[in-house]
Chains A and B, each alone.
Chain A
Amino acid sequence: MLVRTRRGIALAGMAALCALPIGRALAQAEETVPLPLKLPRPVFAGTPKDIPPGTTVEKPSGKPRPIPQVPKGTVNIALKKKVTSSKAPFSGGLDLITDGNKEAREGTAVELQPRLQWVQIDLGASAQILYVVCWHFHMEPVVYHDVVVQASNDPDFIEGVTTLFNNDQDNSAGLGIGKDREYFETSEGKLLDAKGVKARYVRLYSKGSTYNDPLNRYTEVEVYGLPPK
């Protein structure tokens, strides 16, 4: 009995010793922090004449957006990553999309050709994506049309495609009928919950906007997730 008890204590002690790092790791994994998202300076917030009044649909709230909690270690895994597009840009380089500069200033946004265009970010390796934040153009409160955001491990987006956002209500982009609503671009960007999808590529579509010209613009796209090991 005594022997059994001692053995039991010994086993329990060993188990406890072994469990310590696992528990610590588990605890670390569950430890959450606010999404480390740094917003650019607003250029039209606080000037109500710039924002169509009375709009209830996805209008800028005027209050800071609630910051979601994410596992500790979550970073922008799209930073400085390679970007490709459906057509060569009208002006500016595609590297502007992941250069970390999301301010509404001259030279921070790439201009893509009119009509339906996409940009695609190669994260380098498949990673768990928690959030995608996109700033098309926030110098003015414009609305971009047919915004579709997808993630996949297939660079051609034929197989294993997960749609994270789609506001193309009439399927004019041919990517399925979207259930999401159009929204006004602001300095907060559009925050999309990727629900932890595992993918290497993120593709964003748009088809012009309510802005003065028919071009598609991207100031920055950030993809938040845990860096692949």
Chain B
Amino acid sequence: MRSGLGLAAALVLLAGAALFLRLPDAGNRPFHADEAVHAFKLWDLRARGDYSYDPDEFHGPTLYYAALSILAMRQRQAFGDVTEADCRLPVIVIGAGLILLLALLSDGMGRRAAVAAGALIAASPAFVFYSRYFIQETLLICFTLGMIGCSWRWTRARSLAWPICAGAFAGLMVATKETAILSLAAWALALAVVRERCTSEKSRLASARKWAVAGLAAAVVAALLLTGMGRHPEAIADYFRSYAPWLHRARGTDLHRHPWTYYISMLAWHRSAGGPIWTEALTLGLAVLGAMASFVGNRGPQALLGRRLLVFTVALTLVYSLVPYKTPWCVLNPLLGMALCAGIGVAWLLRRSRHTMVRGTLCIALALALGQLTWQAYRTSFVYQVDPRNPYVYAQTVPDAEDVQRRAEALAAVHPDGFGMVVKVFWSDPYYWPIPWYLRRFPNVGYWRGVPRNADAPLIFAAPEFDEELTRRLDPTHLMNGYVGLRPRTVAMVWVRMDLWTKYIESRQRQE
């Protein structure tokens, strides 16, 4: 790849291929409870035109702002019209588009390395899977890459535009997810450990000015987004307060506590009973090569960036591995660094193989390995997308949950109030999600933390623990209509008022 044009063409091609792999059938997996919650927050922003930051949950607003454009483009006028695919689309575009940002690093990593890293990100099962997920992680990764790219550029050019861009990306990171602090700290550590020599007082001053500009840009962008474009200035203090609950969670709850090897073993080799093998060992192995290449016989900007990326990757892998609280999508953070190092590893391998025959064989082997990675990515997102044997599937809403919507809408069709029909949900804790998502077309849905005095309703979804009480109180008037699965090992009971059920059955018989 000898010209910048060639690099641009290769990255555009890779981003296109990444989009092709991520885009189809974006609604093929039921909404995870977290995605459902974010969809409600998104609609709240769309309906009220206002965002207010919650320091306890939900992270920052960039995900919602990104999705607003899709809702506008698709002309969604009511929450009931919004689909899973609508919400996931902006994440898909960002997940594929981030490959273009590799151009910022191409003179540091080398063009071949940038393209190789792009190919590994495009075909990575983890990147593909979480690019089809309406959560913040992919956005955080994209902004992290942008921040690294622009901060690299500012060391290569005098323009203040790069520090401003790096700061803006850092601000976007902060406004995306609280864990941005880990990536920012890891990159700061990399800059501190692998330093470029400052030759004069003048260059030191220039560097300090750039840092100040970048910091200001980061603060402005983060503050604007977190405060809902300045409407809620208290969000800035809330943001710093948010670290208290997140630090508490970092110690790990029963649900999300995993061993320190969780992320590494997920990437290196994963096989659950009866399932296929998942491995991104190709990226891991090439990353090790890239790390070695940054130290062995390599000087100049390539070594500088390579070593910084290595420090960044190692630091981030360590931090994420040592924090007991783990969710699988966080693996993207260290994996980004690994993919960048792996790109350097590929370029080094190609450089070392001078003989045409050896180089040709190497290219074929790498292409085959990349093909295998793409095949894994396809199976991850299109065959095993809800299967718990897939290492990236986590507390996934089971496909049966879609029955909540099917049942409710089928009954509403014969109810005199239609979608205005009253639906009651009895649950002892707030973990009844994603029921609200599947009932989003019903304006009269009520949620109780137990069985209320007046439990009567045409349709009731309830936790199984209320079965005895509901049987005692509703059996004469209602039919216990079976169970519907929500999440692994979580089911809801469905109770339907007998008169409505009779009407429904009669309508079905008429149709038949």
A contact set with B: CB distance below 8 Å: 50, 52-57, 91, 106-107, 114, 140-143, 145, 167, 169-171, 174, 177, 181-182, 208-214
Q: Are A143 and B464 in contact (CB under 8 A)?
A: no
Give the nearest-CB partner of B480 in chain A: A57
Give the contacts of B363-399 with A (CB-CB under 8 A): 386-388, 393, 396, 398-399
For B453-468 the 0/1 string (1 means CB < 8 A from A) is 0000000000111111
Q: Are B398 and A212 within 8 A (Cβ)?
A: yes
Assembled-state Cα–Cα distance A183/B180 (Å): 46
| B485 at interface by CB-CB < 8 Å | yes
CA distance A141 to B464 in the complex (A): 13
The answer to whether B508 and A171 have CB atoms under 8 Å apart is yes
How far apart are the CA atoms of A58 and B204 in the complex, in Å?
Answer: 76
Does B483 lie at the interface of the complex (its beta carbon under 8 Å from any beta carbon of A)? yes
Q: How far is the CA of A143 from the CA of B491 in the complex (A)?
A: 9
Cβ contact of A210, chosen from B386, B396, B398, B508, cutoff 8 A: B398
Interface bits B475-503 vs A (CB < 8 Å: 1, else 0): 00001111111001101010000000000
Which residue of A is nearest B471, CB measured? A56
When C-beta atoms are compared, the residue in chain B nearest to A146 turns out to be B482
B488 touches A212 (CB 8 A): yes
For residue A141, which residues in chain B have a CB less than 8 angstroms away from its CB? 489
Q: Which B residues lie within 8 Å of A210 (CB)?
A: 398, 400, 483-485, 491
Task: List the B side residues contacting A211 at CB < 8 Å.
Answer: 398, 400, 485
A143 engages B483 (CB within 8 Å): yes
Task: Check if B452 is an interface residue, CB within 8 A of chain A.
Answer: no
Contact: B485 with A181, CB < 8 Å?
no
Contact A107 B399 (CB under 8 A): no
Chain B residue contacts of A212, Cβ below 8 A? 386-388, 393, 396, 398, 488
Rounded to whole angstroms, the CA-CA distance of A143 and B493 in the bound complex is 11
Interface pair A182/B482, CB less than 8 Å apart: yes
Chain B residue at minimum C-beta to C-beta distance from A172: B508
State how many angstroms separate the Cβ of A209 from the closest Cβ of chain B.
Answer: 7
Partner of A213, one of B387, B471, B484, B491: B387
A169 lies within 8 A of B464 (CB): no
Cβ-defined contact, A169 with B488, below 8 A: no
Residue of B nearest to A90 (CB): B383
Neighbouring A residues of B73 by C-beta, 8 Å: none
Residues of B within 8 A of A213 (CB): 386-388, 398-399
Chain B residues 395-435 with CB under 8 Å of chain A are 396, 398-400, 410
Instruction: Choose from B410, B482, B489 the contact partner of A145 (Cβ within 8 Å).
Output: B482
Q: Which of B468, B482, B484, B509 contacts A169 (CB 8 A)?
A: B482
CB-nearest residue of chain B relative to A114?
B399
Are the C-beta atoms of A54 and B399 separated by less than 8 Å?
no
Tell me if B273 is interfacial: C-beta within 8 Å of chain A. Answer: yes
Which 9 pairs between the two chains have the least Cβ-Cβ distance?
A210-B485, A52-B464, A106-B273, A54-B465, A214-B399, A182-B482, A143-B483, A55-B464, A55-B467
Least CB separation from B407: chain A residue: A170
Query: Does more than half of chain B's interface fall in helix, strand or loop, or is it mixed?
Result: mixed
Q: A107-B274, A209-B400 are in contact. Are A140 and B489 (CB under 8 A)?
A: yes
Contact call B485/A209, Cβ cutoff below 8 A: yes
- Which residues of chain A are near B491, meaning CB under 8 Å? 52, 143, 210
A contact residues around B274 at 8 Å (CB) = 91, 106-107
- Are A167 and B465 also in contact (CB < 8 A) when A209-B400, A213-B399, A214-B400 are? no
Contact of A181 (CB < 8 Å), options: B482, B508, B509? B482
CA distance A169 to B400 in the complex (A): 16
Task: Please state if B398 and A170 are interface contacts (CB–CB under 8 Å).
Answer: no
Chain A residues whose CB sits within 8 angstroms of the CB of B469 once the complex forms: 54
29 contacts between A and B (CB under 8 A): A50-B489, A52-B463, A52-B465, A53-B464, A54-B467, A55-B467, A56-B468, A57-B471, A57-B480, A91-B274, A106-B273, A107-B274, A143-B482, A143-B483, A143-B491, A169-B479, A169-B481, A171-B505, A181-B482, A182-B482, A182-B483, A209-B400, A210-B400, A210-B484, A211-B398, A211-B400, A212-B396, A212-B488, A213-B387
B464 touches A54 (CB 8 A): yes
A91, closest chain B residue (CB): B274
Q: How far is the CA of A23 from the CA of B387 in the complex (A)?
A: 60
Q: Which residue of B lies closest to A106 (CB)?
A: B273
Smallest beta-carbon distance A142→chain B, Å: 7
A209 neighbours in B (Cβ, 8 Å): 400, 485
Q: Considering residues A170, A171, A212, which has the most beta carbons from chain B within 10 angstroms of its beta carbon? A: A212
Expressed in whole angstroms, the minimum distance between the Cβ of B60 and any Cβ of chain A is 30
Q: In angstroms, how far is the closest chain A Cβ from the Cβ of B348?
A: 41
Not counting A52-B463, A210-B398, a sample of 17 additional A-B residue pairs whose C-beta atoms are within 8 angstroms of each other reads A54-B464, A55-B464, A55-B467, A56-B467, A56-B468, A57-B480, A140-B488, A170-B410, A170-B508, A171-B509, A171-B512, A174-B512, A181-B482, A209-B400, A211-B398, A212-B393, A212-B488
